[in-house]
Amino acid sequence: MRQPTQRAPVPPGRRPVVALGVVVLVALTTSACSSAPLAPLPVPLPEVDAWPAAPQRGAFLGLHTEENDSRSLDALFFEPGVRVARVVENSPAEGAGLTAGDVVLEIDGHPLTDPAELEARVAERAADTTVALTVRRGDAVFDVPVRLVSSGDRPRGADVGAPLWLLDPARSRAGWNDAGGGVRLVSASPGSPVIAAGLPLGAVVTAIDGESVRSARALVRRLQARDPGADVTLTWRHAGAETVTELALADSPRRVTEFDVPILWSYSADPDGDAARLDIIDLWLFSLFSYERVGGERTWTLLEFFEFSSGTGQLAE
């Protein structure tokens, strides 16, 4: 069965911003005109392998601990307990109020001196059980009950190497994460071409231009390797149906950054639009008229003698 093909509307960013009259003027006067350059983009990279990471077993507490040592090799000694080096965000330990620098003296009445012992005692416990930690903070010692969770419930993204999604602000203007056999659309900005093309949030893209895609990083890299405004075909599935959609990638509007007609006219502007300058009849030492804008400040000058400026700045004591 042939899959349906849709044609997405052209995003507004593709419309030319340089007026036709300006183009004609440039051609007639052989003046210098340039616009903000586009950064060169990479060719598509191969699929990126997922990093192998050891699966977590047993219950999960959310503490990274170290020996309670003197922190000095020249004067090394050990004190009872294990020192909390880091607390995993959104973990049971954080919920119980533990912070880095605390010293866990005991777990369920067993004195601790080795971080591995704490890990072992937590790992052998079942999820949804409560352990009693004896904790020293400063000169105060207190008991802290912590309800453990399953290792499978540990917060994602809490450790290195587990991004929630990857953002592509340039071509698709959307966020993507890995899904089974494809890449899921999880967020999109209002001007996103994939939303304009009809992809709903949660859609899983399985191929670009017929080539399968397995990871969010690979999808983002392939999209970024295309020219702004290029046409791509996405194969995606949602609610059990598979669809092929052709769409045009986002394209940043081009801005005239320089436009010179020697002596008569000189215009220059920042690519980001924060500053601009216009000179008319520029005789090097002075000009007939000049206009300059930097941020909200504007200055008009006539024959270098008459100057008028306005701005949005304010004085503050």
Partner 1 sequence: MIRLVLPLLLAVAAAPDAADAVSFVEHRVTVDGEIFDRQFVDVDGDGTLELVVAVATRKGTDRSRRELRIHAFDDAGRLQAEPRRSIVVMDDVTTYGFADLRSEPGLELFFMTPSGVFSYSPTRDGYRDNIARLVETPMFFDVPDGGSMPLWRYVLPSGTPGRGDALLIAEKDGFGLWGGAPDGPYERLSHFADETVAGALFETRERSSMSAGRDRMRFDFDASGGILLEDDEIPTLSLLRTRRSIRSPALVDVDGDGRIDMLDRDQDGLAVHLAQDGAIPAEASRVEPRPEYLDGKIERTLFDLDGDGDMDMVAKVTSGSEGLGPALIRLLVLINDGDRLYPETPDQVLRFEAHEIRFQLSDVDRDGRLDLVVAKYEMPSLLDVATGFELRRNQLIFLGRGETPFERQPSMRNESIFDIESLQAALVGRYLEEDLSGDGLADLVEIDLDGRISVRRLQRDSGWFGGETWSIDDQAWQRFDARGSITNLVVRDVNADGLGDMISHRRDTLLLLLSRRTDR
Minimum Å gap between C-beta 175 and partner 1 is 18
Provide the H-helix boundaries in 4-129: 20-29, 92-95, 115-123
- Measured CA angle at 281 (ends 277, 286), to 5 deg: 80
Minimum Å gap between C-beta 317 and partner 1 is 33
Residue whose pair of structure tokens reads 């010692």 in the numeric block: 141
Q: Which of 116, 263, 294, 303 binds partner 1 (CB under 8 A)?
A: 116
Amino acid 219 reads L
Q: Is 160 in the site for partner 1 (CB under 8 A)?
A: yes
Q: Which of 1, 20, 28, 73 binds partner 1 (CB under 8 A)?
A: 73
Q: Which residues, 6+ apart, have CB-to-CB distance to 168 below 8 Å? A: 174, 175, 176, 219, 220, 223, 224
Q: Which of 57, 86, 110, 156 binds partner 1 (CB under 8 A)?
A: 86
Q: Which of 28, 39, 241, 283 binds partner 1 (CB under 8 A)?
A: 39
Q: Which of 78, 132, 303, 310 binds partner 1 (CB under 8 A)?
A: 78
Q: Which of 21, 52, 210, 313 binds partner 1 (CB under 8 A)?
A: 52
281: left (phi over 0), alpha (psi -120 to 50) or beta: left
Rounded to an integer, what distance in angstroms lies between the CA atom of residue 274 and that of residue 292? 11
Among 158, 205, 155, 203, which residue's Cα sits nearest to residue 181? 205
Helix, strand and coil content of the chain, in percent to the nearest 5, comes to: 15, 40, 45
Q: Is 7 in the site for partner 1 (CB under 8 A)?
A: no
Rounded to an integer, what distance in angstroms lies between the CA atom of residue 237 and that of residue 213? 13
Q: Which of 51, 284, 305, 308 binds partner 1 (CB under 8 A)?
A: 51
Q: Which part of the chain contacts partner 1 (CB under 8 A), choosing from 23-31, 80-88, 178-186, 197-205?
A: 80-88
Which strand (E) or helix (H) includes residue 131? strand 130-137
Q: Which part of the chain contacts partner 1 (CB under 8 A), choosing from 15-23, 49-57, 240-248, 255-263?
A: 49-57
Residues that bind partner 1 (CB under 8 A): 39-43, 45-46, 48-49, 51-54, 66-67, 69, 71-74, 76, 78, 84-89, 99-101, 113-116, 159-161, 217, 221, 224
